[in-house]
Amino acid sequence: MIQVLIVDLGSQYTSLIARAVREQGVRAEILPPQQAGSWLENHKPKAIILSGSYASVRQTDAPEPPQEIFEAGCPILGICYGAQWLVKSFGGDVISSAEKKEYGRTEAAFGEDVIFQDCPGKSVVWASHGDSIGKLPSVFSAIARSGENSQAAAFRAGSFWGVMFHPEVSHTSSGSLILRNFLFHISGCLKDWMPDDIIGGIQKAALDTIGKDARIIIGYSGGVDSSVLAKILLPVFRDRLMGICVNAGNLREGEIDDIKVSAEIIGLNLKIIDAQASLLSALADIIDAEEKRKIFSLVYGQSLQKAVDDFGAAWLLQGTINPDVIETGHSGGAAKIKTHHNPVLEGKFRRYDPLKSYFKDDVRDLARALGLPKYIANKEPFPGPGLIIRVVGCPVTAEKLAIVRWADRQVRMIAQKHNLTNISQLAVILLGVRTVGVKGDERVYGFPVVVRAVETVNFMTAAGYRWPVNVCEEIESALTRHPDIVRVVWDSTPKPPATIEWE
Ligand code: XMP
Protein backbone atom coordinates (compact mmCIF):
# COMPACT_ATOMS: atom_id res chain seq x y z
CA MET A 1 0.00 0.00 0.00
CA ILE A 2 1.33 3.42 -0.93
CA GLN A 3 1.09 5.73 2.09
CA VAL A 4 2.12 9.04 0.54
CA LEU A 5 0.76 10.69 -2.58
CA ILE A 6 2.85 13.46 -4.10
CA VAL A 7 0.83 15.59 -6.50
CA ASP A 8 3.29 16.78 -9.13
CA LEU A 9 2.35 20.32 -10.04
CA GLY A 10 5.33 20.71 -12.34
CA SER A 11 8.35 21.30 -10.14
CA GLN A 12 11.81 20.15 -11.06
CA TYR A 13 12.15 19.06 -7.41
CA THR A 14 9.24 16.62 -7.32
CA SER A 15 11.50 13.60 -7.62
CA LEU A 16 13.63 15.02 -4.83
CA ILE A 17 10.55 15.10 -2.60
CA ALA A 18 9.97 11.39 -3.32
CA ARG A 19 13.61 10.66 -2.62
CA ALA A 20 13.54 12.64 0.65
CA VAL A 21 10.39 10.75 1.69
CA ARG A 22 12.07 7.47 0.79
CA GLU A 23 15.10 8.46 2.85
CA GLN A 24 12.69 8.53 5.79
CA GLY A 25 11.89 4.89 4.94
CA VAL A 26 8.54 5.56 3.25
CA ARG A 27 7.56 4.95 -0.39
CA ALA A 28 5.61 7.63 -2.21
CA GLU A 29 3.67 7.70 -5.43
CA ILE A 30 4.14 10.73 -7.71
CA LEU A 31 1.15 11.54 -9.90
CA PRO A 32 0.20 14.51 -12.06
CA PRO A 33 -3.01 16.31 -10.97
CA GLN A 34 -5.02 14.73 -13.83
CA GLN A 35 -4.34 11.23 -12.49
CA ALA A 36 -4.26 12.00 -8.76
CA GLY A 37 -8.07 12.42 -8.55
CA SER A 38 -8.93 8.97 -9.89
CA TRP A 39 -6.06 7.41 -7.91
CA LEU A 40 -7.59 8.83 -4.72
CA GLU A 41 -10.93 7.21 -5.53
CA ASN A 42 -9.25 3.79 -5.08
CA HIS A 43 -6.52 4.51 -2.54
CA LYS A 44 -6.38 5.91 0.97
CA PRO A 45 -3.01 7.55 1.56
CA LYS A 46 -1.89 8.64 5.02
CA ALA A 47 -0.39 11.87 3.72
CA ILE A 48 -0.54 14.09 0.64
CA ILE A 49 2.23 16.43 -0.49
CA LEU A 50 1.63 19.15 -3.07
CA SER A 51 4.83 19.91 -4.96
CA GLY A 52 6.24 23.19 -6.17
CA SER A 53 5.78 24.30 -9.78
CA TYR A 54 7.27 26.25 -12.67
CA ALA A 55 3.97 28.20 -12.73
CA SER A 56 2.43 30.98 -10.64
CA VAL A 57 -0.92 30.41 -8.90
CA ARG A 58 -1.87 33.86 -10.25
CA GLN A 59 -1.88 32.51 -13.83
CA THR A 60 -5.31 31.59 -15.21
CA ASP A 61 -4.07 28.19 -16.43
CA ALA A 62 -2.10 27.39 -13.26
CA PRO A 63 -1.92 23.66 -12.45
CA GLU A 64 -4.42 22.65 -9.77
CA PRO A 65 -4.50 19.61 -7.49
CA PRO A 66 -7.80 17.71 -7.73
CA GLN A 67 -10.54 18.46 -5.18
CA GLU A 68 -10.37 14.79 -4.06
CA ILE A 69 -7.34 15.69 -1.93
CA PHE A 70 -9.70 17.39 0.52
CA GLU A 71 -11.92 14.31 0.68
CA ALA A 72 -8.98 11.98 1.43
CA GLY A 73 -9.17 12.90 5.12
CA CYS A 74 -5.39 12.91 5.60
CA PRO A 75 -2.88 15.66 6.40
CA ILE A 76 -1.70 17.77 3.45
CA LEU A 77 1.64 19.52 3.13
CA GLY A 78 1.98 22.16 0.41
CA ILE A 79 5.53 22.99 -0.62
CA CYS A 80 6.24 26.39 -2.23
CA TYR A 81 3.69 26.55 -5.11
CA GLY A 82 1.68 23.85 -3.29
CA ALA A 83 1.59 26.12 -0.22
CA GLN A 84 0.62 29.14 -2.30
CA TRP A 85 -2.15 27.12 -3.92
CA LEU A 86 -3.52 26.27 -0.43
CA VAL A 87 -3.46 29.97 0.46
CA LYS A 88 -5.34 30.88 -2.70
CA SER A 89 -7.90 28.08 -2.33
CA PHE A 90 -8.77 29.21 1.20
CA GLY A 91 -9.34 32.80 0.09
CA GLY A 92 -5.93 34.38 0.85
CA ASP A 93 -3.80 36.54 -1.46
CA VAL A 94 -0.70 35.48 -3.37
CA ILE A 95 1.19 38.45 -4.76
CA SER A 96 4.24 39.16 -6.85
CA SER A 97 6.36 41.46 -4.76
CA ALA A 98 9.93 42.41 -5.65
CA GLU A 99 10.96 42.76 -1.97
CA LYS A 100 9.49 39.42 -0.99
CA LYS A 101 11.01 37.29 -3.74
CA GLU A 102 13.30 34.63 -2.24
CA TYR A 103 15.82 32.58 -4.19
CA GLY A 104 18.42 30.42 -2.51
CA ARG A 105 19.42 30.38 1.13
CA THR A 106 17.52 32.40 3.68
CA GLU A 107 17.02 32.11 7.43
CA ALA A 108 13.70 31.09 8.96
CA ALA A 109 12.52 31.36 12.54
CA PHE A 110 10.31 28.41 13.47
CA GLY A 111 7.41 28.77 15.89
CA GLU A 112 5.86 26.17 18.18
CA ASP A 113 4.29 23.52 15.98
CA VAL A 114 4.56 19.75 15.78
CA ILE A 115 6.00 20.04 12.26
CA PHE A 116 9.07 21.79 13.74
CA GLN A 117 9.52 19.36 16.64
CA ASP A 118 13.24 18.98 17.48
CA CYS A 119 14.23 21.72 14.96
CA PRO A 120 16.36 24.61 16.23
CA GLY A 121 14.48 27.93 16.70
CA LYS A 122 16.26 29.37 13.67
CA SER A 123 17.60 27.51 10.69
CA VAL A 124 18.76 27.96 7.09
CA VAL A 125 16.07 27.14 4.55
CA TRP A 126 16.29 27.06 0.77
CA ALA A 127 13.61 28.96 -1.11
CA SER A 128 12.88 29.57 -4.76
CA HIS A 129 9.78 31.66 -5.27
CA GLY A 130 8.91 34.85 -7.09
CA ASP A 131 5.40 34.97 -5.59
CA SER A 132 4.72 35.43 -1.90
CA ILE A 133 1.85 35.57 0.53
CA GLY A 134 0.01 38.93 0.48
CA LYS A 135 -2.61 37.91 3.03
CA LEU A 136 -3.05 34.59 4.80
CA PRO A 137 -6.61 33.26 4.84
CA SER A 138 -8.22 33.79 8.28
CA VAL A 139 -8.16 30.03 8.99
CA PHE A 140 -4.36 29.86 8.61
CA SER A 141 -1.81 30.94 11.23
CA ALA A 142 1.80 31.72 10.42
CA ILE A 143 4.07 29.23 12.19
CA ALA A 144 7.45 30.35 10.75
CA ARG A 145 8.84 33.59 9.38
CA SER A 146 11.75 34.38 7.10
CA GLY A 147 13.68 37.14 5.35
CA GLU A 148 14.10 40.82 6.08
CA ASN A 149 10.33 41.39 5.91
CA SER A 150 9.64 38.61 8.35
CA GLN A 151 7.11 37.16 5.96
CA ALA A 152 5.20 33.94 6.60
CA ALA A 153 7.52 31.08 5.71
CA ALA A 154 5.16 28.39 6.96
CA PHE A 155 1.54 28.30 8.04
CA ARG A 156 -1.08 25.87 9.24
CA ALA A 157 -4.82 25.35 9.40
CA GLY A 158 -5.83 22.15 11.19
CA SER A 159 -4.33 19.28 9.21
CA PHE A 160 -3.10 21.48 6.33
CA TRP A 161 0.46 22.79 6.39
CA GLY A 162 2.22 25.05 3.92
CA VAL A 163 5.95 25.78 3.72
CA MET A 164 7.24 28.43 1.34
CA PHE A 165 10.72 26.83 1.31
CA HIS A 166 11.87 23.42 0.09
CA PRO A 167 12.34 20.87 2.91
CA GLU A 168 13.35 18.24 0.32
CA VAL A 169 16.65 19.90 -0.65
CA SER A 170 19.75 19.28 1.38
CA HIS A 171 20.41 23.02 1.82
CA THR A 172 17.38 23.27 4.11
CA SER A 173 19.19 22.14 7.21
CA SER A 174 16.08 21.06 9.15
CA GLY A 175 14.35 19.68 6.02
CA SER A 176 14.61 16.02 6.92
CA LEU A 177 13.36 16.69 10.48
CA ILE A 178 10.38 18.59 9.06
CA LEU A 179 9.54 15.73 6.69
CA ARG A 180 10.04 13.20 9.49
CA ASN A 181 7.58 15.12 11.67
CA PHE A 182 5.05 15.41 8.86
CA LEU A 183 5.26 11.74 7.87
CA PHE A 184 5.45 10.03 11.25
CA HIS A 185 4.24 12.40 13.98
CA ILE A 186 1.49 14.07 11.97
CA SER A 187 0.40 11.51 9.39
CA GLY A 188 1.17 8.25 11.22
CA CYS A 189 3.09 6.71 8.31
CA LEU A 190 4.97 3.47 8.95
CA LYS A 191 8.36 2.69 7.48
CA ASP A 192 7.86 0.56 4.39
CA TRP A 193 11.05 1.25 2.45
CA MET A 194 14.08 -0.41 3.96
CA PRO A 195 16.05 -1.79 1.00
CA ASP A 196 17.85 -4.45 3.06
CA ASP A 197 14.53 -5.82 4.34
CA ILE A 198 13.07 -5.74 0.84
CA ILE A 199 16.06 -7.61 -0.56
CA GLY A 200 15.77 -10.20 2.24
CA GLY A 201 12.00 -10.46 1.61
CA ILE A 202 12.49 -11.11 -2.12
CA GLN A 203 15.11 -13.78 -1.36
CA LYS A 204 12.87 -15.55 1.15
CA ALA A 205 9.76 -15.40 -1.08
CA ALA A 206 11.75 -16.77 -4.05
CA LEU A 207 13.11 -19.64 -2.00
CA ASP A 208 9.62 -20.44 -0.65
CA THR A 209 8.11 -20.30 -4.14
CA ILE A 210 10.81 -22.02 -6.17
CA GLY A 211 12.38 -24.35 -3.60
CA LYS A 212 16.07 -25.01 -3.09
CA ASP A 213 16.67 -27.59 -5.80
CA ALA A 214 15.06 -26.24 -8.96
CA ARG A 215 17.07 -24.79 -11.83
CA ILE A 216 16.14 -21.32 -12.96
CA ILE A 217 16.62 -19.17 -16.04
CA ILE A 218 16.59 -15.39 -15.78
CA GLY A 219 15.81 -13.32 -18.89
CA TYR A 220 18.79 -10.95 -18.75
CA SER A 221 18.98 -7.65 -20.68
CA GLY A 222 21.83 -6.00 -18.76
CA GLY A 223 19.39 -3.30 -17.58
CA VAL A 224 18.86 -2.28 -14.00
CA ASP A 225 15.74 -4.45 -13.45
CA SER A 226 17.13 -7.82 -14.48
CA SER A 227 20.54 -6.96 -12.98
CA VAL A 228 19.00 -6.16 -9.59
CA LEU A 229 16.93 -9.32 -9.65
CA ALA A 230 19.93 -11.48 -10.57
CA LYS A 231 22.11 -9.83 -7.92
CA ILE A 232 19.45 -10.41 -5.24
CA LEU A 233 18.86 -14.05 -6.13
CA LEU A 234 22.37 -15.25 -7.00
CA PRO A 235 23.33 -15.81 -3.34
CA VAL A 236 20.15 -17.92 -2.95
CA PHE A 237 20.31 -20.05 -6.10
CA ARG A 238 24.01 -19.81 -7.03
CA ASP A 239 24.88 -21.91 -10.11
CA ARG A 240 21.30 -23.08 -10.42
CA LEU A 241 20.52 -19.62 -11.83
CA MET A 242 21.54 -18.91 -15.40
CA GLY A 243 21.09 -15.70 -17.38
CA ILE A 244 19.81 -15.81 -20.96
CA CYS A 245 20.08 -12.88 -23.30
CA VAL A 246 18.22 -13.13 -26.59
CA ASN A 247 19.85 -11.24 -29.44
CA ALA A 248 17.03 -10.90 -31.95
CA GLY A 249 18.78 -8.25 -34.06
CA ASN A 250 16.81 -5.63 -32.14
CA LEU A 251 19.67 -4.33 -30.01
CA ARG A 252 21.72 -1.15 -30.23
CA GLU A 253 25.29 -1.07 -31.42
CA GLY A 254 27.70 -2.48 -28.85
CA GLU A 255 24.88 -3.62 -26.61
CA ILE A 256 25.82 -7.29 -26.46
CA ASP A 257 29.26 -6.33 -25.17
CA ASP A 258 27.67 -4.06 -22.53
CA ILE A 259 25.38 -6.88 -21.44
CA LYS A 260 28.34 -9.24 -21.07
CA VAL A 261 30.15 -6.67 -18.91
CA SER A 262 27.09 -6.19 -16.68
CA ALA A 263 26.66 -9.95 -16.22
CA GLU A 264 30.31 -10.22 -15.28
CA ILE A 265 30.01 -7.42 -12.71
CA ILE A 266 27.09 -9.25 -11.11
CA GLY A 267 28.72 -12.66 -11.34
CA LEU A 268 25.93 -14.11 -13.49
CA ASN A 269 26.59 -17.04 -15.79
CA LEU A 270 25.27 -15.75 -19.13
CA LYS A 271 24.34 -17.43 -22.38
CA ILE A 272 23.51 -15.44 -25.50
CA ILE A 273 21.02 -16.87 -27.95
CA ASP A 274 20.90 -15.66 -31.54
CA ALA A 275 17.34 -15.23 -32.83
CA GLN A 276 18.02 -12.59 -35.51
CA ALA A 277 16.87 -14.65 -38.48
CA SER A 278 13.75 -15.97 -36.69
CA LEU A 279 12.56 -12.52 -35.68
CA LEU A 280 13.10 -10.91 -39.08
CA SER A 281 11.33 -13.67 -40.95
CA ALA A 282 8.45 -13.71 -38.44
CA LEU A 283 8.02 -9.95 -38.78
CA ALA A 284 7.83 -10.14 -42.61
CA ASP A 285 5.45 -7.35 -43.73
CA ILE A 286 4.08 -6.45 -40.33
CA ILE A 287 3.70 -2.72 -39.60
CA ASP A 288 1.23 -2.65 -36.71
CA ALA A 289 2.95 -2.00 -33.35
CA GLU A 290 0.94 -4.43 -31.26
CA GLU A 291 1.40 -7.16 -33.89
CA LYS A 292 5.15 -6.56 -33.78
CA ARG A 293 5.12 -6.83 -30.01
CA LYS A 294 3.17 -10.11 -30.16
CA ILE A 295 5.61 -11.56 -32.68
CA PHE A 296 8.58 -10.40 -30.64
CA SER A 297 7.08 -11.96 -27.53
CA LEU A 298 6.57 -15.23 -29.40
CA VAL A 299 10.11 -15.41 -30.80
CA TYR A 300 11.58 -14.30 -27.48
CA GLY A 301 9.48 -16.90 -25.64
CA GLN A 302 10.56 -19.67 -28.04
CA SER A 303 14.22 -18.79 -27.52
CA LEU A 304 13.80 -18.82 -23.76
CA GLN A 305 11.89 -22.09 -23.95
CA LYS A 306 14.84 -23.69 -25.70
CA ALA A 307 17.21 -22.35 -23.06
CA VAL A 308 14.90 -23.56 -20.29
CA ASP A 309 14.83 -27.05 -21.85
CA ASP A 310 18.60 -27.16 -22.40
CA PHE A 311 19.31 -26.09 -18.82
CA GLY A 312 16.63 -28.40 -17.38
CA ALA A 313 15.01 -25.39 -15.72
CA ALA A 314 11.51 -25.31 -14.30
CA TRP A 315 11.26 -21.59 -13.74
CA LEU A 316 11.75 -18.42 -15.72
CA LEU A 317 12.57 -15.29 -13.73
CA GLN A 318 12.02 -11.85 -15.21
CA GLY A 319 12.73 -8.32 -14.04
CA THR A 320 9.20 -7.15 -14.92
CA ILE A 321 8.37 -3.94 -13.06
CA ASN A 322 5.06 -2.27 -12.30
CA PRO A 323 4.78 0.07 -15.32
CA ASP A 324 5.16 -2.99 -17.64
CA VAL A 325 2.16 -4.58 -15.91
CA ILE A 326 0.12 -1.38 -15.75
CA GLU A 327 0.68 -0.43 -19.40
CA THR A 328 -0.13 -3.96 -20.55
CA GLY A 329 -3.52 -3.50 -18.84
CA HIS A 330 -2.84 -6.31 -16.35
CA SER A 331 -3.27 -4.16 -13.28
CA GLY A 332 -6.65 -3.31 -11.75
CA GLY A 333 -8.66 -1.00 -13.98
CA ALA A 334 -5.65 0.37 -15.90
CA ALA A 335 -6.27 0.74 -19.64
CA LYS A 336 -4.06 -1.20 -22.03
CA ILE A 337 -1.53 1.23 -23.50
CA LYS A 338 0.88 -1.27 -25.05
CA THR A 339 1.66 -4.93 -24.54
CA HIS A 340 5.06 -5.19 -22.87
CA HIS A 341 6.51 -8.58 -23.70
CA ASN A 342 7.32 -9.80 -20.21
CA PRO A 343 3.88 -9.87 -18.51
CA VAL A 344 2.39 -11.87 -21.42
CA LEU A 345 5.21 -14.31 -22.06
CA GLU A 346 4.06 -17.91 -22.37
CA GLY A 347 5.90 -21.22 -22.45
CA LYS A 348 6.27 -24.56 -20.71
CA PHE A 349 7.87 -22.97 -17.68
CA ARG A 350 6.62 -21.32 -14.55
CA ARG A 351 7.11 -17.57 -14.59
CA TYR A 352 8.13 -15.58 -11.57
CA ASP A 353 8.31 -11.78 -11.54
CA PRO A 354 9.40 -10.70 -8.04
CA LEU A 355 9.83 -7.01 -8.91
CA LYS A 356 6.41 -6.52 -10.43
CA SER A 357 5.10 -4.21 -7.71
CA TYR A 358 8.11 -1.87 -7.88
CA PHE A 359 8.77 1.25 -9.96
CA LYS A 360 11.97 2.20 -11.74
CA ASP A 361 13.27 4.46 -9.00
CA ASP A 362 12.54 1.78 -6.36
CA VAL A 363 14.67 -0.63 -8.38
CA ARG A 364 17.44 1.95 -8.79
CA ASP A 365 17.41 2.36 -5.02
CA LEU A 366 17.74 -1.41 -4.57
CA ALA A 367 20.64 -1.36 -7.04
CA ARG A 368 22.43 1.22 -4.89
CA ALA A 369 21.68 -0.75 -1.73
CA LEU A 370 23.17 -3.84 -3.41
CA GLY A 371 26.33 -1.85 -4.20
CA LEU A 372 25.90 -2.12 -7.98
CA PRO A 373 27.95 0.46 -9.88
CA LYS A 374 26.29 3.62 -11.27
CA TYR A 375 26.81 2.16 -14.73
CA ILE A 376 24.06 -0.33 -13.90
CA ALA A 377 22.05 1.53 -11.21
CA ASN A 378 21.44 4.56 -13.44
CA LYS A 379 21.24 2.72 -16.73
CA GLU A 380 18.83 4.12 -19.27
CA PRO A 381 15.95 1.74 -19.98
CA PHE A 382 15.63 0.14 -23.38
CA PRO A 383 12.37 -1.53 -24.46
CA GLY A 384 12.38 -5.33 -24.73
CA PRO A 385 11.36 -5.31 -28.43
CA GLY A 386 14.14 -2.77 -28.92
CA LEU A 387 14.79 -1.25 -32.31
CA ILE A 388 11.88 -3.07 -33.97
CA ILE A 389 9.50 -0.57 -32.33
CA ARG A 390 11.79 2.24 -33.46
CA VAL A 391 11.23 1.49 -37.13
CA VAL A 392 7.79 2.97 -37.51
CA GLY A 393 5.25 2.94 -40.33
CA CYS A 394 6.98 0.39 -42.57
CA PRO A 395 7.99 -3.26 -42.42
CA VAL A 396 11.07 -3.92 -40.28
CA THR A 397 13.99 -5.08 -42.42
CA ALA A 398 17.65 -5.72 -41.67
CA GLU A 399 18.50 -2.57 -43.71
CA LYS A 400 16.13 -0.32 -41.75
CA LEU A 401 17.38 -1.75 -38.46
CA ALA A 402 20.93 -0.99 -39.59
CA ILE A 403 20.02 2.65 -40.36
CA VAL A 404 18.27 3.23 -37.03
CA ARG A 405 21.08 1.45 -35.16
CA TRP A 406 23.66 3.67 -36.84
CA ALA A 407 21.61 6.83 -36.16
CA ASP A 408 21.09 5.89 -32.52
CA ARG A 409 24.84 5.46 -32.11
CA GLN A 410 25.59 8.91 -33.62
CA VAL A 411 23.09 10.73 -31.41
CA ARG A 412 24.21 8.86 -28.31
CA MET A 413 27.87 9.73 -28.95
CA ILE A 414 27.07 13.41 -29.46
CA ALA A 415 24.89 13.53 -26.32
CA GLN A 416 27.69 11.90 -24.35
CA LYS A 417 30.30 14.29 -25.73
CA HIS A 418 28.20 17.23 -24.52
CA ASN A 419 27.59 15.53 -21.17
CA LEU A 420 23.80 15.93 -21.35
CA THR A 421 23.19 14.18 -18.06
CA ASN A 422 19.54 15.34 -17.70
CA ILE A 423 18.38 12.94 -20.41
CA SER A 424 16.60 9.98 -18.80
CA GLN A 425 15.91 8.17 -22.05
CA LEU A 426 16.83 8.74 -25.65
CA ALA A 427 15.02 7.19 -28.60
CA VAL A 428 16.02 7.56 -32.23
CA ILE A 429 13.23 6.49 -34.55
CA LEU A 430 13.18 5.82 -38.28
CA LEU A 431 9.92 6.77 -40.00
CA GLY A 432 8.75 4.72 -42.96
CA VAL A 433 7.64 7.69 -45.09
CA ARG A 434 9.96 8.92 -47.82
CA THR A 435 10.81 12.57 -48.00
CA VAL A 436 12.64 14.77 -50.51
CA GLY A 437 15.94 16.52 -49.94
CA VAL A 438 18.96 17.86 -51.81
CA LYS A 439 22.45 16.59 -51.24
CA GLY A 440 25.32 17.84 -53.41
CA ASP A 441 22.83 19.55 -55.80
CA GLU A 442 21.09 16.23 -56.37
CA ARG A 443 17.56 15.31 -55.40
CA VAL A 444 17.45 12.60 -52.74
CA TYR A 445 14.44 10.67 -51.56
CA GLY A 446 15.10 9.13 -48.16
CA PHE A 447 13.83 8.74 -44.62
CA PRO A 448 13.22 11.14 -41.75
CA VAL A 449 14.66 10.24 -38.37
CA VAL A 450 13.01 11.39 -35.14
CA VAL A 451 15.14 12.25 -32.13
CA ARG A 452 13.22 12.01 -28.87
CA ALA A 453 14.75 12.51 -25.44
CA VAL A 454 12.84 12.77 -22.18
CA GLU A 455 13.44 13.68 -18.57
CA THR A 456 11.66 11.47 -16.07
CA VAL A 457 12.12 9.56 -12.84
CA ASN A 458 9.40 6.94 -12.93
CA PHE A 459 8.81 6.67 -16.71
CA MET A 460 5.06 6.90 -16.07
CA THR A 461 5.14 10.60 -16.88
CA ALA A 462 7.92 12.44 -18.68
CA ALA A 463 8.90 15.91 -19.84
CA GLY A 464 10.25 16.35 -23.35
CA TYR A 465 13.96 17.22 -23.24
CA ARG A 466 14.89 20.50 -24.97
CA TRP A 467 18.25 20.13 -26.69
CA PRO A 468 20.77 22.97 -26.78
CA VAL A 469 20.66 24.53 -30.28
CA ASN A 470 24.31 23.84 -31.04
CA VAL A 471 23.83 20.14 -30.22
CA CYS A 472 20.74 20.01 -32.49
CA GLU A 473 22.84 21.38 -35.33
CA GLU A 474 25.60 18.87 -34.70
CA ILE A 475 23.12 15.96 -34.67
CA GLU A 476 21.35 17.17 -37.83
CA SER A 477 24.64 17.43 -39.63
CA ALA A 478 25.86 14.01 -38.41
CA LEU A 479 22.65 12.12 -39.24
CA THR A 480 22.09 13.55 -42.71
CA ARG A 481 25.54 12.29 -43.67
CA HIS A 482 23.89 8.88 -43.99
CA PRO A 483 22.82 8.41 -47.65
CA ASP A 484 19.31 7.27 -46.62
CA ILE A 485 18.56 9.96 -44.02
CA VAL A 486 17.20 13.24 -45.34
CA ARG A 487 15.67 14.95 -42.33
CA VAL A 488 15.90 15.11 -38.55
CA VAL A 489 12.68 15.72 -36.63
CA TRP A 490 12.71 16.77 -32.96
CA ASP A 491 10.07 15.39 -30.63
CA SER A 492 9.77 16.98 -27.19
CA THR A 493 6.12 16.10 -26.49
CA PRO A 494 5.53 15.28 -22.81
CA LYS A 495 4.04 12.01 -21.56
CA PRO A 496 1.08 12.28 -21.30
CA PRO A 497 -0.29 12.88 -23.90
CA ALA A 498 2.47 11.06 -25.85
CA THR A 499 4.22 7.95 -24.60
CA ILE A 500 8.01 7.81 -24.55
CA GLU A 501 8.26 5.36 -27.43
CA TRP A 502 6.47 6.14 -30.70
CA GLU A 503 4.79 2.74 -30.72
P1 XMP B 1 6.25 4.36 -22.93
O2 XMP B 1 6.58 4.37 -24.39
O3 XMP B 1 5.17 3.39 -22.58
O4 XMP B 1 7.55 3.84 -22.21
O5 XMP B 1 5.98 5.72 -22.38
C6 XMP B 1 7.75 3.71 -20.82
C7 XMP B 1 9.02 2.94 -20.63
O8 XMP B 1 8.81 1.58 -21.04
C9 XMP B 1 9.64 1.26 -22.15
N10 XMP B 1 8.83 0.49 -23.09
C11 XMP B 1 8.86 -0.83 -23.18
N12 XMP B 1 9.59 -1.74 -22.53
N13 XMP B 1 8.56 -3.44 -23.79
C14 XMP B 1 9.43 -3.05 -22.84
O15 XMP B 1 10.10 -3.90 -22.26
C16 XMP B 1 7.79 -2.58 -24.49
O17 XMP B 1 7.00 -2.98 -25.34
C18 XMP B 1 7.96 -1.21 -24.17
N19 XMP B 1 7.36 -0.08 -24.64
C20 XMP B 1 7.92 0.94 -23.95
C21 XMP B 1 10.06 2.58 -22.74
O22 XMP B 1 11.26 2.48 -23.47
C23 XMP B 1 10.15 3.45 -21.50
O24 XMP B 1 11.35 3.24 -20.79
The string of pLDDT tens digits covering residues 280-324 is 999 999 999 999 999 999 999 999 999 999 999 999 999 998 778
Residue 336 has pLDDT above 80, yes or no: no
User: Would you place residue 495 in the very low, low, confident or very high pLDDT band (cuts 50, 70, 90)?
Assistant: confident
How large is the average pLDDT for residues 71-79? Answer: 97
Residue 340 alpha carbon to ligand 1 centre in Å? 7
% of the chain at pLDDT higher than 90 = 77
Q: What is the pLDDT of residues 236-272, one digit of tens each?
A: 999 999 999 999 999 999 999 999 999 999 999 999 9
- Give how far Cα 146 sits from Cα of 116, 124, 274, Å: 14, 10, 64
Residue 192 alpha carbon to ligand 1 centre in Å? 27
Residue 364 Cβ < 6 Å to ligand 1? no
Strand, helix or coil for residue 195: helix
Residues sharing a CB contact under 8 Å with residue 35, sequence separation 6 or more, in sequence order: none
Residue 381 alpha carbon to ligand 1 centre in Å? 8
Residue 385 Cβ < 6 Å to ligand 1? yes
User: Would you place residue 334 in the very low, low, confident or very high pLDDT band (cuts 50, 70, 90)?
Assistant: low
What's the confidence (pLDDT) of residue 250? Answer: 97
CA-angle at 157, arms to 151 and 163, nearest 5°: 45
What's the confidence (pLDDT) of residue 98? Answer: 67
pTM of the model: 0.76
Active-site amino acid positions: 80, 166, 168
Beta pairing class for 425-431 and 442-455: antiparallel
- Is the separation of the CB atoms in 432 and 392 below 8 Å? yes
Q: What is the pLDDT of residues 79-125, one digit of tens each?
A: 999 999 999 999 999 988 766 677 777 899 999 999 999 999 999 99
DSSP letter assigned to residue 240 = G
Ligand 1 atom at minimum distance from 427 CA: 22
Q: Lowest-confidence range among 187-196, 420-429, 459-468, 484-493? A: 459-468
Counting beta carbons within 10 angstroms of the beta carbon of residue 331, is it exposed (0 to 12), middle (13 to 18) or buried (19 or more)?
Answer: middle
Q: Whose CA is nearest to atom 3 of ligand 1?
A: 499
What's the confidence (pLDDT) of residue 333? Answer: 45
Q: Lowest-confidence range among 72-76, 193-197, 215-219, 468-472? A: 193-197
Domains and CATH numbers, the chain: 4-186 (3.40.50.880), 197-377 (3.40.50.620), 397-491 (3.30.300.10)
How large is the average pLDDT for residues 128-134? Answer: 83
